[in-house]
């Protein structure tokens, strides 16, 4: 073992989903090593087994070798790693659980672009397969501020291109097929014969993996196991720079898919996933499904899939996600939960058997089959529902809204704002909250305004300052928070919601339906005077 002296590096604080920085920062002297040593110092490595993999972005392969050496030097017994150091985030979560390991390290900056000058990230998942909770990431951060040395080995790189067992000194390294176990899990949850019969009957799909990690998973499951036509999966080869794409599955960044789905001769179903495979966007022919609606539709129809035929135990959504899923929970007579942003907050509810399906407005849906959101899982559940109901996506949405009413919803992102300006805006807004109830803006009366705090119903831990929410008397809602996943300045996320109960209000364009709520939000937060921004950079 070689022990190397080092010094704390400022700012190695994990955000919403692990530590994310520009790739050159991660490649800087001791940067990756310091963070990895902080992880091992907190969770302990001696005698333990970990899963390791990443989304294949630039530096993924080099970082994997660094982490393997450090795991061995810190006394780990075994590392299970995807071939070529590739694992989607949900597949890594599954391998942690399947092999009952002590956790895993996932190398990804998720939906952020990859490449020598783009983003890289590292996150640690616990033995339940889920992201480390706040208490653990806080301890890791604290460790990075006091670190004085890290442990490594002087060994050659190990060959990760071949499946099989090898070793780094005394540590076993099992190089596994990144897709096989995950595909088997999907086959156990969904009605593959019904979905393949649908494809045989001429059902057409376009799956856009955005040159990111789900390509091999999508080809194996959709084309090979389910018999979708060859060419169904596009952008299916993971590339270190994601082919220059921004692998964030939303209408802005997955524009080619949107154009196809809204064009002449559109396929029946379209889907896209993000860098590390945990997000999904689904679209029908001429029918975009907002993530909040997707969560609600999946929850209302999950019983049609074999893995969920016994029904759901509960539904959890992040606070900024629309309340559409709550209406489904109420009609099913099951519990609904509202958690802070970030998948880590769903872990306890899933582990305790209180929630079966979870979702976020940011194109994330998942269930208790793993402890991460899972893009292909959501896509397959949609396919299972489409096969069972034999209806179009548009028809399923229309029926859903007719039954439950429609929660118009949109998120406006204002990116790369100077951090001090964004902080000042949020501070002023937080300061104004006590005076808001009773105020009337754009014909909307403020009913309540607070800064969301969450008490975990399972372990009682409290998370404060999770986002400002302003509720209006008619059920409309505004939420504002700053992103915890960006790597440049601050990103303001403005979440907007309005409920329409009757069939009258069901067919508006969301931006039009939300117009008064949008104006009220700008007036309340004084976005322009604080940041100089009038319009958002990305609308989802
Ligand atoms: C964003 C989303 C959040 C999601 C997180 C990680 O966080 O809003 O819902 O859980 O990304 O997603 P933030 O703090 O930037 O709003 V992913 O696909 O990175 O794992
Ligand atoms: Co992701």
Q: What is the 3-state secondary structure (H, E, C) of 232-291?
A: CEECCCCCCCHHHCCCCCCCCCCHHHHHHHCCCCCCCEEEEECCCCCEEEEEECCEECCH
**Which residue is listed with tokens 């014969």?**
193
How many whole angstroms from its chain centre is CA 479?
Answer: 19
Q: From residue 55, how far is each of 31, 160, 172, 364, 374 by CA, in Å?
A: 20, 15, 22, 17, 14
Cα-to-centroid distance, 505 and ligand 2 (Å): 33
The answer to whether 322 and 497 have CB atoms below 8 angstroms apart is: yes
DSSP state of 331: H
Atom of ligand 1 nearest to the CA of 16: 14
Give me the torsion for CA of 4, 8, 9, 10, rounded to 10°: 170
Q: Closest Cα to atom 18, ligand 1: which residue? A: 110
Atom nearest to 89 CA in ligand 1: 20
**Cβ–Cβ under 8 Å, residues 400 and 297:** yes
Judge contact between 322 and 407, C-beta under 8 A.
yes
Nearest to 297 by CA among 438, 401, 412: 401
Q: Any catalytic annotation for residue 463? A: no
- Over range 376-396, report the average pLDDT: 98
What does the pLDDT read at residue 505? 60
Do residue 328 and residue 443 come from a single domain? Answer: no
Q: Is 216 exposed, middle or buried, given 0-12, 13-18 or 19+ CB atoms closer than 10 A?
A: buried
Please tell me the number of the ligand nearest to residue 341's CA: 1
Please indicate, yes or no, whether residues 221 and 364 belong to a single structural domain of this protein.
yes
Statement to judge: residues 241 and 343 lie in one domain: yes
Residue nearest to atom 1 of ligand 1 (CA): 485
What local confidence, expressed as pLDDT, does residue 506 receive? 63
Looking at 371, 404, 437, the residue that finishes a domain is 404
State in Å: Cα 110 to ligand 2 middle.
Answer: 4
Q: Which ligand is nearest to the CA of 55?
A: 2
483 CA → ligand 2 middle, Å: 14
Q: How many domains does the chain have?
A: 3
pLDDT tens for 510-530 read 999 999 999 999 999 999 999
Ligand in nearest proximity to the CA of 494: 1
Lowest mean pLDDT among 4-18, 37-51, 337-351, 367-381: 4-18
Q: Are 152 and 33 in contact (CB under 8 A)?
A: yes
DSSP character at residue 18 = B
Task: Please tell me the predicted confidence (pLDDT) of residue 470.
Answer: 96
| CATH number, domain containing residue 55 | 3.40.120.10
Q: Looking at the structure, do residues 93 and 236 belong to the same domain, yes or no?
A: no
Q: Cα 246–263–274 angle (5° rounding)?
A: 20
Q: Which residue's C-alpha comes closest to atom 4 of ligand 1?
A: 342
pLDDT surpassing 80 at residue 433: yes
CATH of the domain at 487: 3.30.310.50
What backbone phi and psi angles, to 5 degrees, belong to 7? -135, 155
- Residue 502 pLDDT exceeds 70: no
Report which ligand 1 atom has the smallest distance to the Cα of 485: 15
pLDDT-based confidence at 486, cuts 50/70/90?
A: confident
- In the chain, % of residues over pLDDT 90: 94
Backbone angles phi, psi at 75, to 5 degrees: 90, 15
8 A C-beta contact, residue 263 and residue 283? no
Q: Radius of gyration of the chain from Cα atoms? A: 23
Q: Which domain holds residue 473?
A: 406-539
Q: Whose CA is nearest to atom 17 of ligand 1?
A: 110
Dist. CA 408–CA 499, nearest whole Å:
6
Using alpha carbons only, give the angle 228, 231, 237 rounded to the nearest 5 degrees. 115
Q: Whose CA is nearest to atom 3 of ligand 1?
A: 342
Give the residue whose CA is nearest to atom 2 of ligand 1. 362
Q: Whose CA is nearest to atom 11 of ligand 1?
A: 485
Residue 149 and residue 240 in one domain: no
If one residue of 364, 494, 538 were mutated to test the ligand 1 pocket, choosing by the most ligand atoms within 8 A of its CB, it would be 364
Averaged pLDDT score across all residues of the chain: 95
Residue 444 and residue 394 share a domain = no
Q: Is the pLDDT of residue 29 over 90?
A: yes
| Residues 192 and 153 placed together within one structural domain of the fold | no
500: nearest Cα among 428, 433, 405: 405
- Clarify whether residues 459 and 315 are in a common domain: no
Q: What is the spatial distance between Cα 80 and Cα 165, in angstroms, rounded to a whole number?
A: 9
User: In 178-254, which residue ranges form alpha helices assigned H by DSSP?
Assistant: 180-189, 192-200, 214-218
Model confidence band, residue 462 (pLDDT cutoffs 50, 70, 90): very high
Q: Which of 135, 150, 177 is the last residue of a domain?
A: 177
Whether residue 38 is found in the same domain as residue 105: yes
| Residue 299 and residue 346 share a domain | yes
Distance 345 CA to ligand 2 centre (A): 16
Say which ligand is closest to the CA of 277: 2
Under a CB-based contact definition with an 8 Å cutoff, are residues 201 and 174 in contact? no
pLDDT of residue 15: 85
Q: How far is the CA of 240 from the centre of ligand 1 (A)?
A: 21
Average pLDDT over residues 492-508: 82
pTM of the model: 0.94
Whether 123 and 162 map to the same domain: the answer is yes
- The one catalytic residue among 93, 110, 273, 367: 110
- Domain edge (last residue) among 158, 177, 196: 177
Cα(429) to ligand 1 centroid in Å equals 22
Ligand 1: list residues with CB < 6 Å: 16-17, 110-111, 274, 278-279, 318, 341-343, 360, 362, 364, 483-485, 493
Q: Are residues 386 and 452 in the same domain?
A: no
* Axis crossing angle, helix 324-332 with helix 291-301, rounded to the nearest 10: 10
Ligand 1 centroid – CA 199 distance (Å): 33
What was the pLDDT predicted at 487?
Answer: 77
Closest ligand 1 atom to Cα of 486: 15
Which ligand 1 atom is nearest residue 372's CA?
20
| Mean pLDDT of all residues in 466-475 | 94
Summarised one tens digit per residue, pLDDT across range 140-195 is 999 999 999 999 999 999 999 999 999 999 999 999 999 999 999 999 999 999 99
Predicted local distance difference test score (pLDDT) of residue 17: 81
High-pLDDT (> 70) share of the chain, %: 99
The 10s digit of each residue's pLDDT in 189-220 is 999 999 999 999 999 999 999 999 999 999 99
């Amino acid at each position: 073992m070689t022990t190397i002296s080092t010094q704390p590096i400022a700012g190695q604080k994990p955000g919403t989903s692990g530590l994310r920085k520009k790739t050159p920062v991660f490649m800087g002297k001791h940067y990756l090593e310091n963070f990895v040593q902080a992880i091992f110092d907190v969770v302990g490595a001696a005698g333990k087994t970990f899963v390791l993999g990443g989304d294949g972005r630039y530096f993924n392969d080099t970082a994997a070798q660094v982490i393997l050496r450090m795991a061995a030097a810190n006394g780990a017994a075994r590392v299970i790693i995807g071939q070529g150091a590739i694992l989607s985030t949900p597949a890594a979560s599954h391998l942690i659980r399947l092999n009952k390991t002590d956790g895993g390290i996932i190398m990804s900056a998720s939906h952020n672009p990859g490449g020598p000058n783009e983003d890289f990230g590292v996150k640690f998942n616990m033995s339940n397969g889920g992201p480390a909770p706040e208490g653990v990431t806080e301890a890791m951060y604290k460790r990075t501020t006091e670190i004085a040395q890290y442990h490594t080995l002087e060994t050659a790189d190990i060959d990760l291109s071949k499946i099989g067992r090898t070793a780094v000194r005394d540590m076993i390294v099992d190089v596994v097929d990144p897709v096989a176990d995950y595909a088997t899990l999907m086959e156990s949850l969904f009605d593959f014969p019904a979905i393949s019969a649908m494809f045989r009957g001429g059902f057409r799909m376009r799956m856009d993996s955005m040159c990111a990690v789900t390509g091999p998973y999508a080809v194996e499951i959709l084309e090979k196991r389910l018999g979708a036509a060859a060419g169904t999966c596009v952008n299916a080869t993971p590339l270190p720079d994601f082919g220059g794409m921004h692998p964030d599955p939303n209408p802005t960044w997955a524009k080619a898919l949107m154009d196809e789905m809204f064009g002449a001769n559109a396929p029946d179903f379209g889907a896209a996933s993000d860098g590390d495979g945990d997000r999904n966007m689904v679209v029908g022919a001429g029918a975009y499904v907002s993530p909040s609606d997707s969560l609600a539709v999946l929850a209302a129809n999950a019983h049609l899939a074999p893995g969920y035929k016994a029904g759901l135990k509960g539904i959890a959504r992040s606070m900024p996600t629309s309340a559409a899923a709550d209406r489904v929970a109420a009609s099913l007579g099951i519990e609904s939960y509202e958690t802070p942003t970030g998948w880590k907050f769903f872990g306890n509810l899933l582990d305790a058997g209180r929630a079966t399906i979870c979702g976020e407005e940011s194109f994330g849906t998942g269930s208790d089959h793993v402890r991460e959101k899972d893009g292909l899982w959501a896509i397959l559940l949609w396919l299972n529902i489409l096969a069972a109901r034999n209806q179009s996506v548009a028809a399923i949405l229309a029926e859903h809204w007719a039954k439950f009413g429609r929660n118009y919803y949109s998120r406006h992102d204002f990116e790369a704002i100077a951090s001090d300006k964004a902080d000042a805006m949020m501070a002023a807004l937080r300061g104004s909250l006590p005076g808001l109830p009773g105020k009337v803006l754009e014909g909307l009366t403020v009913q309540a305004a607070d800064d969301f705090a969450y008490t975990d119903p399972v372990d009682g831990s409290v998370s404060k300052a999770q986002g400002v929410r302003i509720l209006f008397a008619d059920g409309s809602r505004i939420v504002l928070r700053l992103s915890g996943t960006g790597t440049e300045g601050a990103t303001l996320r403005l979440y907007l919601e309005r409920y329409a109960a009757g069939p009258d209000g069901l067919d508006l364009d969301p931006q039009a339906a939300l117009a008064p709520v949008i104006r009220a939000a700008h007036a309340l937060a004084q976005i322009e005077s604080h940041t100089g921004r009038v319009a958002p950079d990305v609308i989802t």
